[in-house]
Amino acid sequence: MREPQKRTHLVYTVLALQIFGVVAFAAAWNALDFHIYWEGGRVVTDGARLYREQLVAHWFTNTPFMAALFSPVSHIPLTVARIGWELASVGAFAWSCGSALRLGGFACTRARLAVVVAAGLFLQPMWQSIFLGQINPFLLALVLADVRMVAAGRRWAGVGVGVAAAIKLTPGIFVVMLLLAGRIRAAAVSAGTFVACGLLGFLVAPKASRVYWSGTFLDTSRVGADYISNQSPFGAAARLLGGPDHVGGWYPVVPLVLGAAGMAVAVAWARRDEWLGAAAVTGTTGLLVSPISWAHHWVWVVPALLFLVRDGRRRWAAGAYLLFCLSPLWWMPRVHGFDGTNTLVANCYLLSGLAFVAYMAWRLRQRTTPAEPRRLVDLSRTRPEHALVPQP
């Protein structure tokens, strides 16, 4: 067997073992967040109970529309539903990787996609999403697929962003990006889809919806905002200042400034029709403006890494990949106040997000366009279409 074929088989073997591990894990482990979603679907029509009582000793923090989506799932036995959910999460992540590859101009054969998916499953935000049974892979898939539709000028572009925002509010930042980038129709479709999904949530759970939209969605006290996993500026400020209550009235200026700066960079990339860059910056900006950006929310590292590779910054991409695999923030779980290098390590996702947006802003000043897709892994020496990315 030739060496490229051996590497291809090795990649497929690793991916198969990862999928087997996901199934075995899902069968044995009661993933906390999925259990909360499942319980949310079970009680969504029971008055305001969805937000008035803790489910599985934790609050349900997502929208009534999301709980309504889980209503039919809650009729499936928990273990069976969990296994199906985790497998679907891997499928959604694979779809996300395919969308990101195509947005970046990379050819997307099965072998290439397998390489990116297998590598991506080692990233801490992704495997923690599986560990918790989180919804992040589905949101990433919806948004990136929709951005591809926007780039192609499809009629129903915007629906995916609207649904994602109706499930979890933070993807709504993509509506702003589309509007500012001049994609008025797509922005309108996104906003309309968001409103329609919200109305559906009202129809299914009117009392819970009134509680949620009357202010519960802004309440960060339901989660530990200063917990090390919260890699937002608000989380960093809470850790530095001794708790969320010590963050003063000045803080709202921070997300406003970061949001404006990030949107300016993302829109500039969108107006260049560089949609991979626009999506990566917008997703990162959403993490910077949200008061809660758990470590598993940082799945937006995937399009960011692919952009860096496409731009010829392979060493930077390798360093960022290693950072998000090792996730050293967990080595500093109790760092509060300023503690030199330890504080930097404890906020490494946040700092990497700020650095990425800054790099993308600096990159806009260059007159050259991003480099042509470059080889990530050479899986064949005989047929170029089997390489991970086409050669110039």
The pLDDT of residue 384 is above 60: no
- Residues of the chain with pLDDT > 90, as a percent, come to 83
Number of Cβ within a 10 Å radius of residue 263: 20
Q: Would you state the pLDDT for residue 95?
A: 98
Q: Answer yes or no: is 185 within a domain.
A: no
- The tens digit of pLDDT for each residue in 257-309 reads 999 999 999 999 999 999 999 999 999 999 999 999 999 999 999 999 999 99
Residue 237 pLDDT class (50, 70, 90 cuts): very high
Work out the end-to-end distance of the chain between its first and last CA atoms, rounded to an integer number of angstroms.
27
* 230 φ, ψ (degrees, to nearest 5): -80, 100
Nearest to 5 by CA among 118, 114, 111: 111
Q: Would you state the pLDDT for residue 371?
A: 61
Mean pLDDT calculated for residue range 155-171: 96
The pLDDT of residue 390 is above 60: no
Work out the widest C-alpha separation in the chain, in whole angstroms.
65
- The tens digit of pLDDT for each residue in 86-144 reads 999 999 999 999 999 999 999 999 999 999 999 999 999 999 999 999 999 999 999 99
Q: Answer yes or no: is 308 within a domain.
A: yes
Q: Answer yes or no: is 319 within a domain.
A: yes
Which residues partner with 55 through β-bridges? Answer: 58
Q: Answer yes or no: is 231 within a domain.
A: yes
| Domain carrying residue 259 | 220-370
The pLDDT of residue 392 is above 50: no
* 196-201 CB contacts, 8 Å cutoff, 24+ apart: 196/162, 197/65, 197/162, 197/163, 197/166, 197/167, 198/63, 198/65, 198/166, 200/65, 200/68, 201/63, 201/64, 201/65, 201/67, 201/68, 201/166
Q: Would you state the pLDDT for residue 389?
A: 37
- The tens digit of pLDDT for each residue in 182-204 reads 999 999 999 999 999 999 999 99
Q: What is the rounded CA–CA span in Å between residue 236 and residue 259?
A: 17
Mean of all residue pLDDT scores within the chain: 92
Residue 10 pLDDT class (50, 70, 90 cuts): very high
For residues 130 and 336, is the Cβ–Cβ distance under 8 A? Answer: no
Cα–Cα distances in Å, from 336 out to 235, 236, 244, 294, 298? 11, 9, 12, 17, 22
Q: Would you state the pLDDT for residue 372?
A: 60
Q: Would you state the pLDDT for residue 278?
A: 98
Q: Would you state the pLDDT for residue 374?
A: 47
Q: Would you state the pLDDT for residue 1?
A: 54
The pLDDT of residue 391 is above 80: no
Q: Would you state the pLDDT for residue 221?
A: 76
**Tokens found for residue 151:** 């780039």
Q: What is the rounded CA–CA span in Å between residue 365 and residue 358?
A: 11
Q: Mean pLDDT lowest for which of 66-80, 154-168, 215-229?
A: 215-229
Who contacts 265 (Cβ-Cβ below 8 Å, separation ≥6)? Answer: 281, 285, 357, 360, 361, 364
- Residues of the chain with pLDDT > 70, as a percent, come to 93
Q: Answer yes or no: is 314 within a domain.
A: yes
Q: Would you state the pLDDT for residue 367?
A: 60
- The tens digit of pLDDT for each residue in 372-383 reads 664 454 343 333
- pLDDT: which is higher, 391 or 219: 219
- The tens digit of pLDDT for each residue in 326-374 reads 999 999 877 788 888 999 999 999 999 999 999 999 999 886 666 666 4
- What's the total number of domains in the chain? 1
Q: Would you state the pLDDT for residue 386?
A: 34
Q: Answer yes or no: is 240 within a domain.
A: yes
Q: Answer yes or no: is 299 within a domain.
A: yes
Q: Answer yes or no: is 356 within a domain.
A: yes
